[in-house]
Amino acid sequence: MIPGDFQFYKPPKNKLILFGVIGFIGFVIFIGVALLATFHISSWIDKPVIFAAEAPDQPIAFPHTVHVQELGLDCTFCHTNVTKGASASIPAVNLCMSCHTQLGDGSTEIEKLRDIHAKQDVIQWTRVHRMPDHVRFIHEAHVKRFSGSRQVVEKITDSSNQIRIIEAKVINPNAKIGETLDIAASGTCSICHGDVSKMHKVEQVRTLKMSDCVDCHRENNGPTDCTTCHY
Ligand code: HEC
Ligand code: HEC
Ligand code: HEC
Ligand code: HEC
Ligand code: HEC
């Protein structure tokens, strides 16, 4: 053999096709795994990787500000199921009409409301918070757990009558360790929803991703087995 007379090994054509096919399948699997990992990680960490939640526009621009801050209505006046069951519930048009048959003449938003009422229709509110189908969330348990007469502590030793300073400060910024707070049911909402009374449009302020739920459960002696939150 003369030096330089070197030839690369040339695989036969059928092998080339085989390699191509294997390579392509590998590539598809890689992309699939990468996508899955992205979604999986995004459910654990704080910020959604693909999109950020934004306050959606509602079919009627319902202002919590006016109803809660100015009129002084309690959260449970409209979200009547929040102390009783899983969902908080959104009030029916009839409840709105108990005031707005009279109040709000000349407002285009109230006109929309009255139209819907006249047609005996329902308002198609856009959901702001939404758990995936495989997750169970129960309002009542959380509202009960964080309301009532509660001693402010650094670390929970008796979950029946204590609240951590971290949650207490959300409810009342002046809360101090050692004191006892008397917390109404509607005082607990801000722990997860922020100060809705100041929101012109409701937006999600807490991630409420799996790590968020599990961390809070751990810190508050809540249940952490998978079946607590998953069907
Ligand atoms: C305190 C409640 C809670 C507990 C306990 C919990 N999860 Fe989750 N889990 C969630 C929530 C909430 C989500 C949805 C997060 C999101 O918005 O994507 C989730 C999402 C998931 C997902 C879907 C991830 C994805 O890719 O979308 C899997 C899988 C999962 N959990 C497994 C588990 C396992 C296994 C356990 C037990 C070790 C467990 N979870 C315990 C609340 C919980
Ligand atoms: C006069 C009735 C009324 C009162 C009082 C009221 N809400 Fe609402 N709430 C609504 C209506 C109607 C919606 C649906 C439209 C929207 O999202 O703005 C809603 C939506 C919400 C949502 C978003 C639901 C979703 O889609 O995820 C949260 C959170 C909420 N309210 C919390 C509160 C809290 C906390 C209070 C007390 C500070 C309160 N609300 C007081 C009527 C009321
Ligand atoms: C307890 C009485 C009461 C109830 C119940 C009530 N509202 Fe109101 N609402 C008011 C008052 C008072 C105002 C302020 C009216 C004004 O400024 O003219 C108002 C203002 C509004 C406005 C702003 C109007 C504008 O253009 O400024 C909207 C929209 C509205 N309400 C929708 C609703 C909806 C939807 C419901 C049911 C989920 C509801 N309200 C339930 C009393 C009520
Ligand atoms: C521990 C956290 C937490 C607390 C405390 C909490 N919420 Fe929620 N809220 C959630 C989560 C999570 C969802 C989404 C539930 C789902 O999709 O199944 C939600 C959804 C809602 C909704 C819309 C859907 C529904 O369930 O009807 C309303 C309205 C609401 N919350 C109002 C309230 C009010 C009012 C309070 C206080 C009395 C409150 N929440 C306290 C976490 C919380
Ligand atoms: C602020 C802290 C906190 C956050 C955030 C929180 N939880 Fe909880 N949760 C608790 C505590 C504490 C308990 C135990 C309540 C009790 O029974 O005393 C609990 C109980 C529960 C229960 C059991 C209810 C029952 O009685 O069967 C479920 C289900 C649940 N949480 C789901 C979730 C999910 C899903 C999320 C996230 C979207 C979440 N929680 C976020 C503190 C929290």
Tens place of pLDDT per residue across the chain (231 aa): 555 566 667 767 777 777 778 878 888 877 777 777 766 666 555 544 444 567 899 999 999 999 999 999 999 999 999 999 999 999 999 999 999 999 999 999 999 999 999 999 999 999 999 999 999 999 999 999 999 999 999 999 999 999 999 999 999 999 999 999 999 999 999 999 999 999 999 999 999 999 999 999 999 999 999 999 998
**125 in contact with ligand 2, CB cutoff 6 A:** yes
CA–CA gap between residue 89 and residue 93 (Å, rounded) = 13
pLDDT at 5: 62
**185 in contact with ligand 4, CB cutoff 6 A:** yes
- Candidates 202, 204, 208: which one to mutate for ligand 2, based on the most atoms within 8 Å of Cβ? 202
Ligand nearest the Cα of residue 134 is 1
pLDDT at 172: 95
Residues 6+ apart with CB under 8 A from 156: 162, 164, 219, 220, 221
Please tell me what DSSP assigns to residue 127. Answer: P
pLDDT at 13: 77
Q: At what angle do helices 13-44 and 210-219 cross, to 10 degrees?
A: 40
pLDDT at 49: 45
Q: What separation in Å is there between the alpha carbon of 33 and the centre of ligand 5?
A: 31
Sequence ranges of the domains in the chain:
139-229
- Candidates 216, 218, 219, 230: which one to mutate for ligand 5, based on the most atoms within 8 Å of Cβ? 216
**217 in contact with ligand 5, CB cutoff 6 A:** yes
- Cα Rg, the chain, nearest whole Å: 27
CA-to-CA dists, residue 83 to 126, 128, 207, 226, angstroms: 22, 20, 22, 24
What atom in ligand 3 is closest to the CA of residue 107?
A: 26
CA-to-CA dists, residue 59 to 111, 116, 129, 161, 186, angstroms: 12, 11, 16, 41, 25
What residue owns the CA closest to ligand 2's atom 2?
A: 78
CA–CA gap between residue 33 and residue 138 (Å, rounded) = 33
**131 in contact with ligand 4, CB cutoff 6 A:** yes
In 3D, which of 151, 177, 175 has the Cα closest to residue 163?
151
Q: What share of the chain is helix, strand, coil (3-state, %, to 5)?
A: 45, 5, 50
Q: What separation in Å is there between the alpha carbon of 192 and the centre of ligand 5?
A: 11
pLDDT at 40: 63
**184 in contact with ligand 5, CB cutoff 6 A:** no
